[in-house]
Structures are given as structure tokens and as C-alpha cells.
A and B are shown apart, each in its own frame.
Chain A
């Protein structure tokens, strides 16, 4: 069975600084997708970034980028130039195309951006 682990329950970062959130996963599948979702205080889940496992190039979306290490089964999220609006819960999620299309979520990392 697949598992997703986020080992940092809480983190904080100064505004304009860079922060990295960790995520590791376990799977025997070769084809899968990884996601980072953001859940701000409004509790709306917002897709931050997605990564296809067959792509070696790390995904980037503006200030958000990932460090995808397939062999190590690691998928960290880097937030550059942190903004107050980045304060949220961040969830790492795993999805495999050979399964039942269910997401496996990590337990989340609560990020607070300090002014």
C-alpha cells in the first residue's frame, strides 16, 4: 500500500525568505503523480503544483518549485519569496494511474509566514 509522510507538523518562515517542506512516499508503482495542495484558513483546497513521476524535470509554478527525487521517493516543496498569503496548511498527495484513482494524503505541514 502507498503511504505519504510529512515529517514537519509546523514550520515558520520570515516574509520574503525561502522555505522547504518535506514529503516522502512509499510505493512499488512506477507510474504515478505527486501533488502539493494548499489549504488556507478558508479551508478551500488549492492545487499548488503537480509532478508526473516519468518526468525527470522538476515542476515549477512561479514561486513554487519541487525537488523530486524518484529513487529516494522524496518530493519536497520550495516556496521562494514567501508571502503572508502563503500561510496555510500544505498537504502532499500521491496518485497512481494503476489504482482506483484515490489520492493518498500526508498529514500536512502548517506553515506560518511571519511579517
Chain B
């Protein structure tokens, strides 16, 4: 139980285009989802926290207009990287927690590798 999926697993796009990444909780309702960014050989950096039906809370230094997060349902959150540039290339990971899964535990998706040319 407590499975989280992400799609796509990897994406290559041209500079200036937008990319959408989906995060789904497959077997539980995720009241809260988290988006992380991970640089090579580094730890996870929290970008934002989203609660179903409300606006995401962004961490300091994260541009909310560049990284649009939508949590429209209890099983789906999306991260849209707008006007992507090469410096946005990274590994993006989502996680979810919810009342039906262990509420103190975050369950992670497999991640999405974004390359911006």
C-alpha cells in the first residue's frame, strides 16, 4: 500500500517551453503533497507543500510563477515548470501523505528527470 506514481519519468524540452509533471497517490487519499528538487549527489530540497483544494505554500527562494503547483484532487498534484531554462534541469520528486496511510510518513514517487536544452 501507499504507492505514489509520477509521470513522466523523464522529459526533454526546449528552452522557453513549459513542462507539466503529474504526481498521483494510487491507493490512498493524499491530503498533502510535497514537491522536491534534487541536484546530483545532494539531498532533497523542498520546493513547496500543497494541500488539496488550496494554494500551495512555497519555500523561500522558490519562484511561484515559474513552478506552478496544483492540487485539484485528493489523488493528483501537478507541477508545471513554466518557460523552462537550462538551469531548471534537475530531478524532481513528489511525495504524499494522507489520513489513510500513516499520517506521519511521506511516500515518495519515483521522480522525474527534466532536461532543458
Chain A interface residues (CB < 8 Å from chain B): 33, 35, 37, 42-47, 50, 52, 91, 95, 97, 100-103, 105-108, 110
Contact = CB atoms under 8 A, between A and B. Distances in A.
Contacts of B110: 42-44
A97 B106 CA distance: 13
A43 B106 contact: no
Nearest to A43: B111
B91 A43 contact: yes
Interface of B: 32, 34, 38, 41-44, 46, 49, 57, 91, 93, 95, 97, 102, 104-108, 110-111
A52 B104 CA distance: 10
A35 B116 CA distance: 33
Contacts of B106: 95, 103
A85 B99 CA distance: 32
A39 to B, nearest CB: 9
B43 A105 contact: yes
